[in-house]
Structure formats: structure tokens, C-alpha cells
């Protein structure tokens, strides 16, 4: 008979006598960043939307992490190029735009009416707190 273990982050895990499949690991609750319906664990480089795990590439994860760790603040494109791509200059913002499109799609964020990542023309991007 399974028992329920509450982890304190609106997440419960059932424990039974059967071993867990290798693909199922518990998130590291201590390092978890949660903003709106998005959860991010920087230590394990895993992300969830409404408790459903997302598949993000390395750069997609880095982009979301750079924005979500500063949720509510504007992050400039220069800062994103430095933090995500380790570049001090760039000739085109298409790199950010392309990755941002992929990230928005995976997060379920509509670019025409964004509720997670907002573009502020001439300033940068902001991950909205609510």
C-alpha cells in the first residue's frame, strides 16, 4: 500500500515497495526556484510547468534560468548574451530571439499575449512574477 510524502512545495510523492524507475528522480527542493507555474532546479538543470517536466536544451535552460532568477527585473540582451552565451558582444539579436521563441513555446507562453516572459522594446526581457 503506497504512502504519501509531502515535500512542502505542493508536490507529493507516492512511496511503495516497488523500486522507482531510473527516470524518476525527486527534484532538489532546496534549490528550487518557483515563479508562476514554472519551477526550475538549477542544481539538476530540470524544469517543470504545472508539475509536468519540460525538456529544455542546455541554452534554453540557461536562458530561462537567467530570466527567472531575476523575475520582475528587466534583463538586457547584453546581459543575456554574457550570462547565457558567454559573449561580450554580438552582431544580431536573432540568437536570443530564436531561443526565446523555443522557450516560449515549451513554457506555453503566447508571444502575442505573454504572461511569463515580456519583451520591453529597447530595454530587454522580464520574467513576470505574477
Determine the Cα–Cα distance for residues 103 and 105; give it in Å rounded to an integer: 5
Answer yes or no: is 38 within a domain.
yes
Q: Is 11 among the domain residues? A: no
Q: Are 75 and 125 in contact (CB under 8 A)?
A: yes
Q: Does any domain span residue 8?
A: no
Instruction: State residue 78's pLDDT score.
Output: 92
Q: Indicate whether 93 belongs to any domain.
A: yes
Per-residue confidence band for 92, with pLDDT thresholds at 50, 70 and 90: confident
- Per-residue pLDDT tens digits for 49-84: 999 999 999 999 999 999 999 999 999 999 999 999
**Helices of type H across 11-93:** 58-68, 77-85
In a domain, 65, yes or no: yes
- Residue 71 CA to residue 65 CA, distance in Å, equals 10
How many domains does the chain contain in total? 1
Residue range 13-33, pLDDT digits in tens: 554 444 544 344 555 567 899
Q: Are the C-beta atoms of residues 62 and 120 closer than 8 Å to each other? A: no
Is residue 23 a part of any domain in this protein?
A: no
Could you say which DSSP state residue 21 is in? P
73 in any annotated domain? yes
The three grid cell numbers given for residue 19, joined into one nine-digit string: 523500486
Contact 89, 80 (CB under 8 A): no
Q: Is the pTM of this model over 0.85?
A: no
pLDDT of residue 90: 65
Per the domain annotation, does 9 fall within a domain? no
Q: Which three cell numbers stand for residue 37?
A: 507555474
Domain range for 52: 28-127
User: Which CATH number fits the domain that encloses residue 46?
Assistant: 1.10.10.10
Amino acid at each position: 500500500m503506497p504512502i504519501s510524502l509531502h515535500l512542502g512545495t505542493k508536490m507529493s510523492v507516492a512511496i511503495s515497495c516497488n523500486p522507482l524507475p531510473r527516470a524518476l528522480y525527486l527534484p532538489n527542493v532546496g534549490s528550487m526556484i518557483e515563479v508562476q507555474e514554472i519551477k526550475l532546479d538549477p542544481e539538476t538543470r530540470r524544469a517543470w510547468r504545472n508539475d509536468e517536466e519540460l525538456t529544455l536544451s542546455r541554452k534554453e535552460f540557461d536562458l530561462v534560468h537567467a530570466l527567472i532568477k531575476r523575475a520582475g527585473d528587466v534583463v538586457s540582451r547584453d546581459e543575456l548574451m554574457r550570462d547565457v552565451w558567454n559573449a561580450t558582444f554580438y552582431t544580431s539579436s536573432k540568437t536570443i530571439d530564436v531561443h526565446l521563441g523555443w522557450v516560449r513555446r515549451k513554457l506555453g507562453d503566447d508571444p502575442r499575449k505573454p504572461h511569463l516572459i515580456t519583451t520591453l522594446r529597447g530595454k530587454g526581457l522580464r520574467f513576470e512574477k505574477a
